[in-house]
Amino acid sequence: MPAVSVRDIRLDLFRGLALWFIFLDHIPTNIVSWLTVRNYGFSDATEIFVFISGYTAVIAYGRMLDKEGWPRTAARIYRRVWQLYVAHILLFVAFTAQIAWVSIARDAPALIEEMELLGLGQNPYRAILEAALLKFRPVNLDVLPLYIVLLAAFPWVLPVLVRWPWAVIAVSVVLYVVTCRYNWSLPAYPDEKVWYFNPMAWQVVFHVGAACAVFGPGLSRLDRYRTPLTILAVAFVLFAALIALSWQYNPLERLIPTWVVRVIYPIDKTNIDVLRFLHFLAVAWLVRIAVPMDAPALKWPIWQPLRRCGEASLLIFCIGTFLALSGQVIVGHYEDSILSQILVSIVGIGIMCLAAYIAAWFKGGGTRMPPRLPALAGASR
């Protein structure tokens, strides 16, 4: 399988970028979040993260399946699932404690309701059990449970995927369509809630990403249709940008025909509306064209903080989630001033980068710090 023998620098870079975007987007009323993809189309950083997670899962475990067999590969995958689960539980405890402390210190009980933690006070024993079952989560703690479920099913998908990737895509799309048609979902707590990211729908992003890793250089066959595909992708991205910007600017909203509004809305995130998925695929195609795997610019030192964050994605996601709430509190204390939003964003990204560099140092045995550490300050501005 040639796709798993070469490390694609773009994976770590864009995963790191997705983690930065998630952090910025999780701070309400953050002016810096206008730099993220969320404001210019239907999809956002979640699609980037899930797609790359599927792609890297094949890179991590594809060759192991060939060399060491299915039982050992499955055991390694489930060890990773356990690590993700433990990280989520620890993040849940730390995040909940942070919310409780802020609520008490600032006499702001509304924060508990805003972060959807009322169930913990109403029935703490039930809430703890549901949290252990991944059914009870505060706001912004939805991505890791989604990844845990997708990766937990991956040992059973991988043997089929490496042999018949098109079959996996076909089954994945059918499951997605049926899920959207019949509104299948996983239950959440409290009652009558569902998972914010429905794994039965979002699996299509994960599995398409995994299939792309299996195809590897075979994707170059699409280049024979490069011109029409690029034209379609650009047109769709521009259309999505117009719609997304119309949500912020009334003059643009008046330009959208009524029949278009009836056709495209609602653009569901829980079950990843087809417009979100198509928008992501269009952006991914344009990125593939604009940033080839061997582009010399990918190795520029300025991108190294992004790559480091992408390499330590679990750690950086947890830190970013914790920092986002801290940033929300700080920005709220200064009455949503633009200066506070900018400073919180810069400092938060700086802390995430520093943590990524420290993680890389420990991973390398702690013998020396990674090179170009001063680039951290410039990239966080």
Asked whether residue 7 carries a pLDDT value surpassing 90, the answer given is: no
Structure-block tokens of residue 43: 């999809």
Asked whether residue 375 carries a pLDDT value surpassing 50, the answer given is: no
Does the residue 57 lie in any domain?
no
Per-residue confidence at 114, pLDDT binned at 50, 70, 90? confident
DSSP code for 369: P
Concatenated DSSP letters of 316-348:
HHHHHHHHHHHHHHHHHHTTT-HHHHHHHHHHH
State how many domains the chain has. Answer: 1
Asked if 146 and 50 count as a contact pair (C-beta separation under 8 A), the reply is yes
Which pLDDT score, from 0 to 100, does residue 366 have? 59
Structure-block tokens of residue 158: 């991988």
Per-residue confidence at 255, pLDDT binned at 50, 70, 90? confident
Does the residue 312 lie in any domain?
yes
Give how far the C-alpha of residue 171 lies from the chain's centroid of Cα atoms, to the nearest Å. Answer: 23
| Tens of pLDDT, residues 359-369 | 999 988 755 54
Tell me the C-alpha to C-alpha distance, in Å, between residue 268 and each of 25, 42, 107, 173. 18, 10, 35, 17
Q: Three-state SS across 103-168?
A: HHHCCCCHHHHHCCCHHHHHCHHHHHHHHHCCCCCCCCCCHHHHHHHHHHHHHHHHHHHCCCHHHH
Does the residue 317 lie in any domain?
yes
Does the residue 334 lie in any domain?
yes
DSSP code for 371: S
d(CA 228, CA 163): 30
Asked whether residue 2 carries a pLDDT value surpassing 50, the answer given is: no
The stretch 142-170 carries a mean pLDDT of 96
Does the residue 27 lie in any domain?
yes
Asked whether residue 71 carries a pLDDT value surpassing 90, the answer given is: yes
Asked if 10 and 291 count as a contact pair (C-beta separation under 8 A), the reply is yes
Which pLDDT score, from 0 to 100, does residue 376 have? 35
| Tens of pLDDT, residues 160-188 | 999 999 999 999 999 999 999 999 999 99
Per-residue confidence at 218, pLDDT binned at 50, 70, 90? confident
Which pLDDT score, from 0 to 100, does residue 380 have? 37
Structure-block tokens of residue 278: 């198509």
Does the residue 221 lie in any domain?
no
Look at strands 187-188 and 193-194 and give their pairing. antiparallel
| Tens of pLDDT, residues 263-306 | 999 999 999 999 999 999 999 999 999 999 889 999 899 999 99
Does the residue 165 lie in any domain?
no
Does the residue 315 lie in any domain?
yes
| Tens of pLDDT, residues 183-192 | 999 999 987 7
From the list 65, 87, 85, 88, the residue with the least C-alpha distance to 75 is 65
Q: Which domain holds residue 21?
A: 11-35+294-381
C-alpha neighbours within 13 Å on the C-beta side of residue 254: 3
From the list 307, 323, 301, the residue with the least C-alpha distance to 359 is 307
Asked if 50 and 150 count as a contact pair (C-beta separation under 8 A), the reply is yes
**DSSP 3-state assignment of 189?**
coil
